[in-house]
Amino acid sequence: MVRFYMAWKYRVYCLLVIKFVLLFFSPLAADTPFLLKQLTQTPYLVAPAISSDGHFLSALIRQENGASHVTVWRIPDGFGQAETLPYTRIEMDWMAWVGGGRLLMSSKEKGLILYDAHLKRLRPLIEGRGPRPDELPPVLLSHLPDDPTSVLLQWEDPGLPGFPAVYKVDAITGTSEKIISAWSPIIRWYASPEGEVLLGEGFKGRDQFLYRSDHDGDWRRISKRDYFKGPAYSVLAVETGGATALVLSAHAGNTRDLWRMDIATGSMRQRLAGHKYYDMTSALIDPVTDLAVGALYIAESVEQIVWRADKKEELRKVSEKLGRPKFFLLASSRDGNRSLYSSRSNNHPAEYFLYDKETDDIYPLPHDENVRNFPKLRTEGVYIPVKNMRQPMHALLAYPAGGLTKKTIVLLHGGPVRRATERFSPFVSWLIASGHNVLQPNFRGSSGYGERWRQAGYAEWGNRMQDDVRSAAEWLVDEGISRPGDMCVVGGSYGGYAALLSAIKDDDLFACAVSLNGVTSLPHLVEYLDRNRFSALTVPRILGKLRRRSLQKRSPVYQVNSVHIPVLLFQSTEDRNVPFEHGAMMAQALLKHKKEYDFIVLTGAEHQLRREEERRKYFQHTGEFLDRYLQ
């Protein structure tokens, strides 16, 4: 496959070099508009966190060079005394406060790093052999609040490659002790807040297993189910005391509810929160008691349910002080006296606030004032009838604050087991600023709408899932929002795949199509995924009972002769989800059949466009392409 990849890559480079030069070095690319620069730059502040003692805050802060760096500051001193650490957002897998004022960071290349905010000391955490970049990444299992000098982590066991062991790590000395060795099929361990490892989750083929500890070193299986046929469930956390765990499960209905599970038996003890139409997505856990006090789900946007009286009262008080109804509790100090909140809008990035319970004051975290000048847009949820389903398809329709325009983009999300939500999207804002309406359909197979909707997308790539894209475009016409030929279809990853198929199947509705890192060959994708460890959890969603040869009929690259509208292709050279060969093969086929297209190689980019210059190139060339074909 490597030889095949390289051959296609350089063949296309040679054939299209002139086109690339013209695109990359055009005068317009050098004179980037201010709005484009603002929308594609990294948000000023993301991922804020508060230390368990409530004395420190951390966040990823954008610096003058455009990169986000890990930044730490003491709460009484203010942001002016912040410490900038030499690690960027791109380098970090995760970071978490442990043992009061110690910030633990997991770097892709440098392993585990510890910053002691009290001493302002930065050093590698592990002495000797710790987690390596080419192995399973480390996962934090417990902060060990009763032993603040230690943490509980899992990472790959050298004795059983591909499976994690559990280690107790001394944050002072950097020494680690293996307390549970890896064993197949466990790939994820769960510990109580007190640090007792009680659950292990594993996969073998399509089967998902759950094991529990008997406290004497023995483990017993308490659950086994087919990942695709059984009711979906996922473990969130073990609660304090170790008798119960928080689990998202659809065993009692179509949607995933938040349940309290008995660890000894695997039976569901109590339903904590649920919704008739939407899946619960996570739980709110009180840092003082380590018990669930609320849950979150997504309708048009994120919604939260809080059932404990004191937390509801705090939320009411903070809402009044902020003067904003849409805000969320993110985290609190261990004593509950200081809490982090976010306020969200679909017009600009989230803003963050620190609430001090003792003084009853709210302090805004630093943010970029320029985001207040972003284009204003309106978003509304709509429901679109689709074939073969009683349940209508939910979609989000966004348009300029002044009203609907004559040009519309059907924007398709990736995954496909994901969904479009009413949150700030720089790309949507860019399209709105360019004078377009944007419809984002949550076609069957999308997450968040229950098991029937999610499973209705299995083995339906290029078939009923694709029919939903056409239903979305036809709805726009039926509602008088747009006309055939006044629409283009745009998407990334799976959405790019569906956009390319729409260029083949729906050219009577769409004037053009844009694909960012889109799949172009299902046989090649299945072959690539089969090399991964958990291919049995992904390939059946695509393959089902279809023969692999039949996947060619659902692949854009084998139907290029039927493309009758202009196509814009973007493909990243370092994409590990959809390898570069997908875009290269499609570009070569379009060239061979003399179709109208542009192909832009994003050199050095990954599946997600993590750097500003990559996003700017994508936004700019997409805007120019749409302007060319939507008048």
pLDDT at 152 over 50: yes
Q: What is the pLDDT of residues 250-286, one digit of tens each?
A: 999 999 999 999 999 999 999 999 999 999 999 999 8
Max distance between CA atoms of the chain, in angstroms, equals: 72
What pLDDT was estimated at residue 20?
Answer: 37
User: Contact 610/604 with Cβ under 8 angstroms?
Assistant: no
User: Contact 569/582 with Cβ under 8 angstroms?
Assistant: no
Assigned CATH class of 2-31+375-629: alpha beta
pLDDT at 618 over 60: yes
- List C-alpha distances in Å: 620 to 100, 375, 434: 45, 16, 11
Residues 572-580 have a mean pLDDT of 96
Maximum average pLDDT range among 139-143, 145-149, 538-542: 139-143
**Chain centroid to CA 104: how far?**
22
Letter for the amino acid at 155?
Answer: W
pLDDT at 4 over 60: no
The rounded mean pLDDT for the chain is 90
Residue 228 banded pLDDT, cuts 50, 70, 90:
confident
What pLDDT was estimated at residue 215?
Answer: 72
What are the phi and psi torsion angles at 621 (to 5°)? -70, -30
pLDDT at 496 over 80: yes
Residues 352, 343: Cα–Cα separation, whole Å: 6
What pLDDT was estimated at residue 28?
Answer: 34
Q: Range with the lowest mean pLDDT among 339-348, 572-581, 592-601?
A: 339-348
Q: Is 611 exposed, middle or buried (0-12, 13-18, 19+ CB in 10 A)?
A: middle
What pLDDT was estimated at residue 227?
Answer: 83
Residues 52-56 have a mean pLDDT of 93
b/e burial code for range 512-526 (CB count within 10 A of at least 16 → b): bbbbbbbbbbbbbbb
Q: Which residue has the higher pLDDT, 308 or 2?
A: 308
Q: What is the gyration radius of the CA atoms in the chain, in angstroms?
A: 25
Contacts for 223 with CB less than 8 Å, ≥ 6 apart? 208, 209, 210, 266
User: Contact 308/283 with Cβ under 8 angstroms?
Assistant: no
Residue 348 banded pLDDT, cuts 50, 70, 90:
confident
pLDDT at 8 over 50: no
DSSP annotation of 256 reads P
Residues 103, 351: Cα–Cα separation, whole Å: 22
Residue 214 banded pLDDT, cuts 50, 70, 90:
confident
Q: Which residue has the tokens 């004795």?
A: 159
What pLDDT was estimated at residue 29?
Answer: 36
Q: What is the pLDDT of residues 424-440, one digit of tens each?
A: 999 999 999 999 999 99
What pLDDT was estimated at residue 27?
Answer: 33
193 token code pair: 């807040």
**Helix H or strand E segment including 24:** helix 2-24
**Helix H or strand E segment including 476:** helix 464-478
Contacts for 534 with CB less than 8 Å, ≥ 6 apart? 203
Maximum average pLDDT range among 239-243, 285-289, 617-621: 617-621
Ranges of each domain in the chain: 2-31+375-629, 126-184
Q: What is the pLDDT of residues 170-206, one digit of tens each?
A: 998 889 999 999 999 999 999 999 999 999 999 998 8
Long-range Cβ contact pairs of 218-226 (< 8 A, separation 24 or more): 222/263, 222/264, 222/265, 222/266, 223/266
Q: Residue 538: name the closest of 413, 441, 417 by CA.
A: 417
**Helix H or strand E segment including 156:** strand 150-156
Within 10 angstroms of residue 205's Cβ, the number of other Cβ atoms is 13
Residues 328-353 have a mean pLDDT of 90
At 89 the three-state DSSP class reads coil
Residues 86, 138: Cα–Cα separation, whole Å: 20
Maximum average pLDDT range among 124-133, 145-154, 368-377: 145-154
Residues 50-68 have a mean pLDDT of 93
What pLDDT was estimated at residue 128?
Answer: 67
What pLDDT was estimated at residue 18?
Answer: 30
Q: What is the pLDDT of residues 284-305, one digit of tens each?
A: 998 888 899 999 999 998 999 9
Within 10 angstroms of residue 608's Cβ, the number of other Cβ atoms is 14
pLDDT at 481 over 80: yes
Maximum average pLDDT range among 88-92, 353-357, 589-593: 589-593
Residues 564, 157: Cα–Cα separation, whole Å: 53
Residues 563-576 have a mean pLDDT of 97
Q: What is the pLDDT of residues 436-466, one digit of tens each?
A: 999 999 999 999 999 999 999 999 999 999 9
% of the chain at pLDDT higher than 90:
72
**Helix H or strand E segment including 163:** none
Q: What is the pLDDT of residues 84-129, one digit of tens each?
A: 999 999 999 999 999 889 999 999 888 899 999 999 999 999 876 7
